[in-house]
Amino acid sequence: MSARLRFRRLLGSSIRRARAYAYEVATVGPADDYARRFHYFGDGAALMAPQGVLYNERYLSIGDETLIGPNVCLTAGISGDQEMLSSPVVTIGRRCVIGRGSHIIGHWSIELGDEIQTGPYVYITDQNHSYDDLDEPVGWQTPNERAVSIGSGSWLGANAVILPGTTLGRNTVVAAGAVVRGTFPDHVVLGGVPAKVLRHYTEAGGWQAGPAS
């Protein structure tokens, strides 16, 4: 083995160890000063490093034993000094796992129940642009806000999008890539764009295809 290759391997190993140590140290737990900025930061909860965009932390509530993955964005409003009309704006329950790269963008009310898990790159928001004025650029029009609620025990697959006004029941499965808006009952599987009920559960027949009649 050449000296150059040995040096490269040694250097690469050192960099990987340093990066792993840096991420471990940069992970935020309830004992860290930064955790005091939050409305609530639960016992055993963690914000994994590297963190995504986080601001207006005083309006964000993270439940006990909840794990927020790397590069997750958690925000309330559009700036860190904005005064919000409700508090907390974003509530994440106990023992949840939010997958890496996900975005939870709150303006009014987003509530995640307990023991919810998401895949990577899930997007949840309670605000969307309006397009009522045909002459005004969509991005400049007054946005619409509607509360979002996700029932305990649910699983949201990778790249799922949860739009304003959505209410999901308990133990709901959302397929990867689904775009969800509306109100859905407990124990259903949702998929598609826009998302529809693909399966539902009944006591008499177990899991059945399609929505309940």
pLDDT at 89: 97
d(C-alpha 195, C-alpha 125), whole Å: 16
Burial level of 213, CB count in 10 A (0-12/13-18/19+)? Answer: exposed
DSSP secondary structure string for all residues of 86-147: SS-SEEE-TT-EE-TT-EEEESS-EEE-SS-EE-TT-EEESEE-----SSS-GGGSPPEE--
User: Is the distance from CB of 190 to CB of 170 less than 8 angstroms?
Assistant: no
pLDDT at 70: 97
Kindly give the pairing relationship between strand 110-112 and strand 67-68: unpaired
**12 contacts: CB under 8 Å, gap ≥ 6:** none
Largest CA-CA distance found in the chain, in angstroms, rounded? 72
Q: Extract the tokens encoding 73.
A: 């964005």
One digit per residue, pLDDT tens: the chain, 213 residues? Answer: 788 888 788 888 888 999 999 899 999 999 999 999 999 999 999 999 999 999 999 999 999 999 999 999 999 998 888 999 889 999 999 999 999 999 999 999 999 999 999 999 999 999 998 999 898 999 899 899 999 999 999 999 999 999 999 999 999 999 999 999 999 999 999 999 999 999 999 988 889 998 887
User: Is the distance from CB of 101 to CB of 82 less than 8 angstroms?
Assistant: no
Given phi > 0 = left and psi -120 to 50 = alpha, else beta, which region is 177? left
Q: Report which secondary-structure segment, H or E, holds 212.
A: none
pLDDT at 187: 97
- Count other C-beta atoms under 10 Å from residue 139's C-beta: 8
Q: What is the dotted CATH code of the domain comprising 30-209?
A: 2.160.10.10
SS3 151: coil
Phi/psi for 54 (5° steps) reads -135, 125
